[in-house]
Structure 1
Amino acid sequence: MPPRSQTILLLGGSGLIGRYVAEDLRLRGFAVTAIARHYASSQKTSTDDVEAPITAMTQDQLTRLMVERRIDMVVNCLGVLQDGPGMDTSAVHRDFTARLLAAIKATAQPIQLVHISIPGTADHDRTAFSKTKRDAERLIADAGIGSTILRPGFVIAPAAYGGSALVRALAALPVADLPSDLASRPFQPVAMDDIAATIAWLCQHVSDTHRVWDLMQPEPVTLGAVVDRYRTFFGTDRSTRIRLPGFLLDLGAKLGDGVARLGWTPPVRTTAIAELRRGVTGDPAPWITATGITPLTLAQMVNRRSATVQDKWFARLFLLKPVIFVSLVLFWIVSGFIALFISYDAAAGILSAHQFPPASVAPITVGTSLMDMATGALIAFRKTSAIGLIWGILASLGYMFGAAVLAPDLWIEPLGALVKTGPAIILMLVALAMLDNR
């Protein structure tokens, strides 16, 4: 049997591919150190799941890490879709890869590199994402080390994130269909199981050559066919749908770009739409011939089991998540703005009518209005969203309790403003429950 790599350094251990591969390799008996900038609490399943700013490491730090842990293979699953706060495609794809290659050479020991890239050719690269991914491929090809570049097609996995989550959400949505030009784009999928099996095969078949493999099912399909297959999965394939015009997707992508500046990672952004329109194609024959792996078909990937209630809830709620957060942000900011600038006299009059000291009316009115607007701003930013939601719940409970003690008649006023605060609290609890992405 060919020599077997025993110790693996996996970079990007919290991502869709990285998380699955790390756990799969451990089940196969490999020692895996998986590094990510941040893990969700549910993702840290091993003491070898390490949180570290890996893309900020210097060449010397990377070399020392590999030497100290006696690494035989590096699996690089790092990637970011689009430039934004804390995300730089050039820094992650090209600059880090250059340092990683230099660090591997500096170890003076044979270390294999497996690098996750994207399908296609440089002729069709139009985005910073695809161009920098291709730059990394060229650096690896010229490095002169044992390396394999894997180019997965559209990845279908038990988990859903980004584009895979969006496809499921579109399939579960009973009223809308993709624009015809997008639905007809070639879209060859690959099962996560096949990616993991390939990396396990590479761990057992060490080579000093450079290889590039497309990982996907051989049969060509379209994006529309993938969505249709998920519709069969969810039981929504008989619904009548309205085909969306392309400009709505472009508008949604622009809005997604704006939301990304607040720290969120929406699946619909200009880069994502551009990559979807480019399509996902490749030639998996060299991969299949070398490894003997028979890739699963689309039907086998999706319909190996029936949809569970967890699948249905996630798909149905995925597109509602941004609606919920936007509505809460607007609820707090607009309500504070109205009380402070449009209906200040009416808001202050409520306090005066309930015998509040005249000197306290203005400070309370202004203070609560600013607090409401600040709550909305906190919810709007991803890093502070949980704080804003918790504060919003506490503030709402405070308003309700304060009114019950100081102004109980407000509970029976005609429009029922305080009564409606209860459902707002429930919505904020729902938002808190949906906050996680991984």
Structure 2
Amino acid sequence: MAERTILVLGASGLIGRFVTDDLRARGFRVVGVARSLSPAQRTNALDIELPILSLDGAALTRLLQERAVDVVVNCLGVLQDGPGSDTNAVHRDFVARLLKAIGDTGRASRLVHISIPGAAEADRTAFATTKREAERLITASGIPYAILRPGFVVAPSAYGGSAMLRALAAFPVDLPDKEMATPFQPVAVEDIAATIAWLAARDIEDDSVGAVSWDLMQAEPVTMSGLIEHFRAALGTAGWRRIAMPSFMLDLGAKTGDLANMLGWMPPMRSTAIAELRRGVTGDPSAWAAATGITPKTLTDAIGRHPATIQDKWFARLFLIKALIFASLVAFWLVSGFIALFVSYRAAAGILTAHNFPPALVDPVTIGTSLMDMSIGVLIAFRRTAAIGLVAGMVASLGYMFGAAILTPDLWIEPLGALVKTGPAIVLMLVALLMLDNR
């Protein structure tokens, strides 16, 4: 088993990271590939950062040959189109190049592909249709393959939909009744990793697993409500009275998430996520269980039989608040700069004039600081530049405070306490900076 080399694509993601670490613990030689790895994930010399989606067929072939890969595990996927995310490019075009590369190596290799459950006739989103197109390419390729269709994945870490359910469990709010009744068959990420390990240990010429498509999930039907209740039990919020949000609020949240998606953020509540949620997560795991002998973990075992730790509680409580923090900071900087420049320009300039500021500098400073404020708001709004914007906001705020202490010290005792309130704003920006990571 130790000589088998497995290439995991998407080794920084929820499934990919767990699978990479789990397979190594089982004795496999695992090469993890991701576009970017967090500092905490750069602990193994075999893990490499690579713009995998931009590699052509020849480059993919070289990668497979140089690493002498026996099994390729494709965990790559994006939920929705947006800046840097293209469902066609990731789910269909890349898979087509990968299949050709595997065939061109001249080496017998198996592809394990992570897809989605459900009937193809129910596919409505670009996410689902492109995932299904990839399946068709794989089944027609002639190479040994296993298409795994996990249910709702429950893992020790949280990302995307699993993070959102934890957050819902921490608050006295429910999704609309219709969505709460949606069937949602879960699967423990440990069962996904165990399945991949079982496949990797099989001989490449074993016809019984040469072309398989399995649903990986618990056989017992579970609803969204039942799934969240298990998280509530762990968080200690099971006895709370809750208010079901109206459907229009869920749709409004999805549209707001779509806007954030265009700015480079990847919130779990987007149009595609809500459409897939309403579709439900169902399948038949009997073929998988019969072939592998794996007994799916119960939901209680997957989530854990012990009460949630303090870090679990903090994450669940702060996950949805994170969006509110960033939105409020963007509004704060944009609106404050806009008001000073367009609504109350004379009043803003008058503060400097009243404190004997050099007349020639009043207008340039007023205009410059207003434009700077709005620029900070724009920087924070975009995911790629948010860290820069937050640091700039803290520096600018400290500059305002020290500048006022020197030039206009009486503003510190102004009745509304404008400068005094700058301190908490700096703290909030520091909190936002510390919460910026997604993984």
User: Is the structural similarity TM-score above 0.5?
Assistant: yes
Match in the other structure for 1:20: 18
Please report the RMSD computed on the Cα atoms of aligned residues, expressed in angstroms.
Answer: 0.9
Q: Which of residues 194, 200, 204 in structure 1 aligns to 2:197?
A: 200
Pairing 1:163-182 to 2, within 5 Å after superposition: 163-173=161-171, 175-182=172-179
Match in the other structure for 1:306: 307
Tell whether the 8 Å contact from 2:184 to 2:282 is kept in structure 1 after alignment.
yes
Q: Quick one: distance in 2 between partners of 1:255 and 1:336?
A: 23
Q: Quick one: distance in 2 between partners of 1:232 and 1:45?
A: 34
**How far 1:83 moved relative to its partner?**
0.5
Matched, 1:354 2:355: yes
Tell whether the 8 Å contact from 2:3 to 2:29 is kept in structure 1 after alignment.
no
Matched, 1:294 2:295: yes
Q: Which of residues 183, 187, 191 in structure 2 aligns to 1:186?
A: 183
Q: Quick one: distance in 2 between partners of 1:135 and 1:121?
A: 13
Shift in alpha-carbon separation, 1:4–1:360, aligned structure 2, 3 A? closer
Structure 1: gaps of 5 or more residues = none
Tell whether the 8 Å contact from 2:236 to 2:307 is kept in structure 1 after alignment.
no
Pairing 1:61-100 to 2, within 5 Å after superposition: 61-100=59-98
Q: Quick one: distance in 1 between partners of 2:379 and 2:187?
A: 39
Q: Secondary structure at the match of 1:42?
A: helix
Q: Quick one: distance in 1 between partners of 2:295 and 2:338?
A: 60
**How far 1:212 moved relative to its partner?**
0.4
Q: Secondary structure at the match of 1:239?
A: coil
Q: Which of residues 111, 115, 120 in structure 2 aligns to 1:113?
A: 111
TM-score (norm 1): 0.98
TM-score (norm 2): 0.98
Letter in 1 for 2:146: T
Tell whether the 8 Å contact from 2:257 to 2:270 is kept in structure 1 after alignment.
yes
**How far 1:304 moved relative to its partner?**
2.5
Tell whether the 8 Å contact from 1:5 to 1:72 is kept in structure 2 after alignment.
no
Q: Quick one: distance in 1 between partners of 2:109 and 2:143?
A: 8
Q: Quick one: distance in 1 between partners of 2:43 and 2:162?
A: 24
**How far 1:305 moved relative to its partner?**
2.3
Tell whether the 8 Å contact from 1:338 to 1:344 is kept in structure 2 after alignment.
yes
Q: Secondary structure at the match of 2:148?
A: strand
Q: Quick one: distance in 1 between partners of 2:353 and 2:5?
A: 72
Percent identical among aligned pairs is 65
Letter in 1 for 2:57: Q
Structure 2: gaps of 5 or more residues = none
Letter in 2 for 1:214: D
Q: Secondary structure at the match of 1:151?
A: strand
Q: Quick one: distance in 2 between partners of 1:180 and 1:155?
A: 22
Q: Quick one: distance in 2 between partners of 1:15 and 1:338?
A: 42
Shift in alpha-carbon separation, 1:41–1:103, aligned structure 2, 3 A? same
**How far 1:228 moved relative to its partner?**
1.0
Letter in 2 for 1:261: M
Match in the other structure for 1:400: 401
Letter in 2 for 1:391: A
Q: Quick one: distance in 1 between partners of 2:3 and 2:110?
A: 9
Tell whether the 8 Å contact from 1:352 to 1:361 is kept in structure 2 after alignment.
yes
**How far 1:5 moved relative to its partner?**
6.4
Match in the other structure for 2:254: 253
Match in the other structure for 2:372: 371
Match in the other structure for 1:35: 33
Match in the other structure for 1:264: 265
Matched, 1:141 2:135: no
Give per-residue Cα distances to partners, 1:155-190, cap 9 Å, x unaligned.
0000000000000000011x2111111011110000
Q: Quick one: distance in 1 between partners of 2:54 and 2:329?
A: 35
Match in the other structure for 2:225: 224
Q: Would you say how many aligned residue pairs link Structure 1 and Structure 2? A: 435
Letter in 2 for 1:385: A
**4+ runs of 1 displaced by more than 4 Å?**
none
Tell whether the 8 Å contact from 2:2 to 2:29 is kept in structure 1 after alignment.
no
**How far 1:302 moved relative to its partner?**
1.6
Match in the other structure for 1:315: 316
